[in-house]
Amino acid sequence: MENYNITTLNDFIILKQKDFPYAKGELSSLLHHIGTAAKMVNKKISKAGLIDIIGSSGEVNVHGENQQKLDVYADQVFIRSLLSSGECCGVATEENENEIVFSDTNASEGKYVVCIDPLDGSSNIDFNVSVGTIFSIYRRITQRGEKVRNDDFLQEGTKQVAAGYIIYGSSTMLVYSTGFGVNGFTLDPSIGEFCLSHPDIKTPEDGSIYSVNEGNYIHFPEGVKKYIKYCQEIDKDSVRPYTSRYIGSLVSDFHRNLLKGGIFLYPENEITPKGKLRLVYECNPIAFIASQAGGRATNGSISILEIIPSSLHQRSPFYAGSKNMVNKIEEFLHQYR
């Protein structure tokens, strides 16, 4: 008989509810609904090459980017699932210019708001490359029963109650944290459950991978250019040169570096002076996971988690990963500022 000694995501969520002495299970229910939506999106993605779902939906999202059909699908699935959880009173997503306020009486009583990048790395979808979902959960500032407001979503990253990502890769994983370490669950397609496969993930303090779109090199700030050269040099202990790895899917690049040790860089450059990645639903949740795993994330000057967002879709330079590597890039940025 096979070994059925498994802990499913739902077992684990219930088990961990005791970490929150006054919790009534609302967060558990929310995470459970995110897991369910992830399974639906996963199913669709795994068929992307088979059915007429790939390619552009012909619509343009709030950033003027061509929306892929799966962007739209994932956006709807997560929004509906969060609404039906009854614990979430509003959502901010990459695909919608303004926050979505759940006015349904049940949902407006919900304690939490969710910020989400429903499909990250979506330009890779047509080529069978891993994509992801990134999410972040905050306790609302407004009173329960009131209409949520913009500032419910514009809280600094340190206020995250939970955050995580799903990677739709060679296997599908859900990685999340409620502020008590990071745990990873792999989807077992035969039973349709996320099973605990990576308990208490810790990222190495030193890594040997650097991940950056080097095609933009010419436009990078001097400190980043010098850091990249540093990564490529031979040192006396033969730790360097580091390995360069870049998928172009934040979730996938970060996930690999989280497990192996490395740094992900998306600097500001002359073309995108604030960088590309979005603070609220890309940088903050990833920074939360990095720091819960013993790593760090910075915009080059301050910790990502300490930035007070001023708008939902604001961008930020982003450097995240192994602690000592992030410290090093900060040194370079400081020195060549």
Q: Judged by CB under 5 A, does residue 253 bind Mn ion?
A: no
Least Cα distance to 313 among 289, 269, 277 occurs for 277
Position of tokens 């490359």? 129
**Shortest distance, CB of residue 219 to ligand AHG, whole angstroms?**
11
The angle at the Cα of 9, spanning 8 to 15, to the nearest 5 degrees, equals: 90
| Contact set for ligand AHG, span 275-334 (CB under 6 A) | 276
Judge contact between 240 and 331, C-beta under 8 A. Answer: no
**Shortest distance, CB of residue 122 to ligand AHG, whole angstroms?**
4
Determine the 3-state secondary structure of 90 from DSSP.
strand
Interface with Mn ion: number of residues (CB under 5 A): 4
**Shortest distance, CB of residue 190 to ligand AHG, whole angstroms?**
29
Residue 285 Ramachandran class (φ > 0 left, ψ -120 to 50 alpha, else beta): alpha
Segment contacting ligand AHG by CB under 6 A, of 19-27, 114-122, 143-151, 322-330 = 114-122
Q: Judged by CB under 5 A, does residue 94 bind Mn ion?
A: yes
**Shortest distance, CB of residue 204 to ligand AHG, whole angstroms?**
21
**Shortest distance, CB of residue 13 to ligand AHG, whole angstroms?**
26
Q: Judged by CB under 5 A, does residue 117 bind Mn ion?
A: yes
Nearer to Mn ion, 99 or 120 (CB): 120
Q: How far apart are CA 61 and CA 313, in angstroms?
A: 12
Q: Judged by CB under 6 A, does residue 67 bind ligand AHG?
A: no
Longest alpha-carbon distance in the chain: 65
- Supply 273's token pair: 């002076």
Strands in 209-283 per DSSP E: 209-211, 243-244, 262-266
Q: Judged by CB under 6 A, does residue 122 bind ligand AHG?
A: yes
Least Cα distance to 59 among 101, 97, 4, 85 occurs for 97
Nearer to ligand AHG, 154 or 286 (CB): 286
Q: Judged by CB under 6 A, does residue 120 bind ligand AHG?
A: yes
Interface with ligand AHG: number of residues (CB under 6 A): 11
List the one residue from 250, 263, 287, 305 that touches ligand AHG (CB under 6 A). 250
**Shortest distance, CB of residue 253 to ligand AHG, whole angstroms?**
6
What single letter denotes the amino acid at residue 243?
A: T
Other C-beta atoms within 10 Å of 312: how many? 21
Alpha helix positions (H), the chain: 9-16, 26-46, 69-85, 105-108, 150-153, 222-232, 250-260, 284-292, 323-335
**Shortest distance, CB of residue 120 to Mn ion, whole angstroms?**
3
Q: Judged by CB under 6 A, does residue 249 bind ligand AHG?
A: yes
Build a one-symbol-per-residue string for 198-227: x at contacts with ligand AHG by CB under 6 A, - elsewhere: ---------------x--------------
| Binding footprint of ligand AHG on the chain (CB under 6 A) | 94, 117, 120-123, 213, 248-250, 276
